Structure 1
Amino acid sequence: MLGEVEQRNVGYTEIQADTLEEVAAFGIEEAREKLYGPAMIEDAGLFIESLKGFPGVYSAYVFDTIGNEGILRLMEGVADRKAVFRSVLGYAEPGMEPIIFKGELEGEIAAEPRGSGGFGYDPIFEIGGKTIAEMDLAEKNRISHRGASIRALNSWLASR
């Protein structure tokens, strides 16, 4: 184990940007200034190929506004249901340039919501015929886009 991690919600400005990387790069600078020490932030989004990457960087707002039902309405009659969850984690320490770590989980949008686990888009994001909301926590954590970005950070920290 490399050390203790403490979750602190110091808040940061989420800029309107085209990519998760831009949001994380801006946010990590602000978080580092508030914490006076090592800091990390994570931003994630659902990118649907046939919708040209929508909802993407606006995933939280879109979920709060139209939810899974709205996404499924947008996908009615669409054959290409490929989608990817992306996670971008920004990490910085005093005196160093921020570093960005990424994780992805490829899947597709299900025809209808299924499962009671997880949160957000999990009931409509399907991998191999099973939605994330139908998976147990261990299975979800093993394939998670967030888990992948955190493992990348952990690997980088261990190599220092």
Structure 2
Amino acid sequence: MNFITGNKHKVEEAEKIFLKFGLKIQHMNLGYMEPQGTLEEVARFGAKYAAQKLEEPVIVEDAGLFIKALNWFPGPYSAYVQDTLGNKGILKLMENVKNRYAEFRSVVGYCAPNAEPKIFLGVVKGRISNIEKGNLGFAFDPLFYPEDMDKTFGELTTHKKNQFSHRSRSLEQFARWYKNQSRD
């Protein structure tokens, strides 16, 4: 199975998750242009594009932070917003905002050549902190408190975070589905 991404953190997380299901992945970075749209649209496009180009089954993954008070911004633009505004910019946008509900979402797109892509969604509900906390993880992790936890993703070890992260949820959904398909 080819995992198409330029992010080595995603590959490491996926390898650990897939090991539990007896699945192996090969990392490939095709560097294709992503369309503007929802996470689902981006994952569908990427999976279909890569499967056609490689003529092999592939998975892609796209993720984002969705903040309710900001009309679900930054959403699919999370990487761009991280690069331009960063965590301090998000905290500035959230000044004096009482409803701090947010979700991290991950979508895995799977596609075999000449087939339509399948989508697997993983969500972790939580809230945005008032300050950055923790220096583990990456991107918006120091801002996000998962539901019912008193630590941000940025304060959790990679092992602990990967036990229930949005990405682990979407990857595990895919792995269960894929294993069931191979039994048929």
Q: Report matched runs for 1:69-80 at 5 Å.
A: 69-80=88-99
Distance 2:95 2:23 in 1: 48
Name the TM-score, length of structure 1 as normaliser: 0.95
* Residue of structure 2 in register with 1:4 after alignment: 24
The gaps in structure 2 that reach 5 residues or longer are 1-20
Distance 1:143 1:130 in 2: 14
Which consecutive segments of 4 or more residues in structure 1 shift more than 3 A?
none
Name the TM-score, length of structure 2 as normaliser: 0.83
The answer to whether residue 178 in structure 2 is matched with residue 147 in structure 1 is no
Amino acid at match of 1:50: A
Identical aligned residues as a percent = 48
* Residue of structure 2 in register with 1:89 after alignment: 108
Distance 1:122 1:154 in 2: 25
Cα-to-partner distance string for 1:91-149 (whole Å, 9 max, x where unaligned) = 01123221001100111000100111000000001122210010112210011000000
Distance 1:27 1:76 in 2: 36
Give secondary structure in 2 for the equivalent of 1:130.
coil
Residues 48 and 113, structure 2, Cα contact 8 Å, conserved in 1: no
Question: What is the Cα-based RMSD across aligned positions, in Å?
Answer: 1.1
Distance 2:106 2:82 in 1: 16
Matched positions, count? 159
Residue number among 23, 31, 37 corresponding to 2:42 in the alignment: 23
